[in-house]
Amino acid sequence: MVEQTGTINDHINKVPKRLPIICHDNCSSHTTKIVKQYLEENNIQVYPLPPYSLDINIVKNLWSIIKERVSKKMFRDPSQDQVQVCQEEFHSIEKSIIKSLYESLPDRMDANLKAHGGIN
């Protein structure tokens, strides 16, 4: 069991000493008996994601921002290399945007729970 839960321990030990919450999907490796048992024995609360939850997918929001920026640049100058423009926009995303999306997660999760996994 130690070998199979080593990855969990590696991350849990970095969490501040309060009851941790893990957010994961229904991937088979997340729902095995041994993982469930480990989480229960270690008082780790699990927030299960609905199979496909756009409401709490901050990466989708990030890609939307990048897509909009790329579209604007390509519209102004269609001769640009689209791959290069995508890479430039990806690397130019401000940390404040990522931080804001990350900080919105608790509210997104609360809304998702209140909607019983439905669309908010």
Predicted local confidence at residue 82, as pLDDT: 92
Task: Quote the CA–CA distance of 54 and 41 in Å, as a whole number.
Answer: 31
Predicted local confidence at residue 11, as pLDDT: 61
Domain edges within the chain? 2-48, 54-114
User: What letter does residue 28 receive in the DSSP assignment?
Assistant: G
Do 79 and 55 contact (CB within 8 A), yes or no? no
Q: What is the pLDDT along the chain (120 residues), one digit of tens a residue?
A: 445 555 666 665 665 566 667 777 777 887 889 988 988 888 888 876 666 667 788 888 999 999 999 999 999 999 999 999 999 999 999 999 999 998 998 888 888 878 776 666
Predicted local confidence at residue 112, as pLDDT: 80
Predicted local confidence at residue 60, as pLDDT: 85
**Considering Cα of 105, then 111, then 113, then 118, what sign does the dihedral take?**
negative
Predicted local confidence at residue 24, as pLDDT: 74
Predicted local confidence at residue 65, as pLDDT: 95
Predicted local confidence at residue 64, as pLDDT: 93
Task: Quote the CA–CA distance of 50 and 82 in Å, as a whole number.
Answer: 34
Task: Quote the CA–CA distance of 68 and 35 in Å, as a whole number.
Answer: 40
